[in-house]
Amino acid sequence: MPSLGTITLSLLAVGVAYLPIALLTQHELPIVRSSLSLAALGIFCTALAFLAFFALIGEVGPVRTPLFTYVNPIVAILLGVIVLGESLSVGLLVGFPLVLVGCWLAATGARLRRRVSIGSASETGSRAGDAVQRRRERLAEVEPE
């Protein structure tokens, strides 16, 4: 996972690169409202989003973390319908389950998880007890304490 310093320097470099373009395309000084909006975007939609993204990487791992970005359009469309009164088309209604199924397939590899009762080998049989023990060992290797 990249360190916070690396991301900070990257965003600073992008800001410096965009500054001349912003200055050359401005025809008048920005108003207070647009300046506050820009600050809110920088703080909430960039800085806090990166922190949440890195926390998610730590929680579910780097392979499954990007899957949440596929759900963003669904949230945006639903908010548009609820808050702004936008229309909901048949194509969108068909697309929602396709996106969710795609996320599930990407996250699980289309495998259904079986519930494993964790008990002693005498309760579940020696083969099942061995399988439970192997699963515990694999989970201990994958998940940091």
Of residues 129 and 124, more confidence is placed in 129
> What integer pLDDT is reported at residue 143 of this predicted model?
55
Answer whether 1's CB lies under 8 Å from 57's CB: yes
Reduced DSSP (H G I as helix, E B as strand, rest coil) percent helix, strand, coil of the chain, to 5:
75, 0, 25
Q: Which two tokens stand for residue 141?
A: 């290797």
Of residues 129 and 72, more confidence is placed in 72
> What integer pLDDT is reported at residue 124 of this predicted model?
45
Model confidence pLDDT, tens digit, residues 56-91: 888 888 888 888 888 888 888 889 999 999 998 999
Model confidence pLDDT, tens digit, residues 93-119: 898 899 888 888 887 777 766 655 555
CA dihedral 21, 25, 27, 31 (to 10 degrees): -60
Amino acid identity of residue 6, one-letter, is: T
Q: Smallest Cα–Cα separation from 60: which of 108, 102, 105, 98?
A: 108
Answer whether 119's CB lies under 8 Å from 132's CB: yes
How far apart, in whole angstroms, are the C-alpha atoms of residue 145 and residue 142? 10
Percent of the chain whose predicted confidence (pLDDT) is above 90: 15
